[in-house]
């Protein structure tokens, strides 16, 4: 796999969009709508909406590096979208509340052209006023 493709796949957002097999399900508090809105933003390539889903000082950890803050996260999304990633989907496996945080973990998959890719993620979500935001996200790419 070309290294540029791997880099962009590592930058792919993996915010959970599906119900999956959930454990320790937290009170929803609008998180399901937040997840649907993020998935829709990704699928239409809306960088502003994708970036706004993160806290101002959010951190994304991927195999290609650590991205801190919305500007760095936005640049990562731009790189992923330039490759033409499509058929993005996620299956949430674990979701639980810990105080004011919601922890999610699961699997993601997408395609570049006809080539399928998949991996795993964790995400910590928080409330900022009346908005849900991602505070921390870790993304992996599964070995072939």
The range of the structural domain enclosing residue 92 comes to 3-141
Residue 17 to residue 88: CA distance in whole angstroms: 10
Residue 103 to residue 100: CA distance in whole angstroms: 10
CATH value at residue 88: 3.10.450.50
pLDDT tens per residue across all 144 residues of the chain: 444 444 344 444 444 333 333 344 444 556 777 777 877 788 789 999 999 999 999 999 987 789 999 999 999 888 878 888 877 777 788 889 888 899 999 888 888 889 999 999 999 999 888 888 999 999 999 987
Count structural domains, the chain.
1
């Amino acid at each position: 796999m070309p290294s540029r493709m791997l880099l962009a796949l590592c930058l792919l957002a993996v915010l959970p969009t599906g119900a999956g097999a959930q454990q320790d399900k937290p009170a929803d508090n609008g998180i399901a709508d937040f997840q649907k809105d993020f998935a829709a933003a990704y699928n239409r390539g809306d960088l502003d909406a994708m970036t706004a889903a993160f806290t101002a000082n959010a951190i994304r950890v991927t195999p290609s590096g650590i991205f801190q803050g919305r500007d760095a996260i936005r640049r990562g999304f731009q790189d992923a979208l330039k490759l033409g990633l499509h058929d993005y989907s996620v299956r949430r496996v674990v979701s639980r509340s810990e105080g004011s945080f919601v922890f999610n973990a699961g699997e993601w998959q997408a395609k570049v052209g006809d080539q399928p890719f998949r991996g795993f993620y964790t995400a910590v979500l928080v409330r900022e006023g009346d908005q849900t935001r991602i505070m921390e996200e870790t993304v992996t790419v599964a070995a072939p």
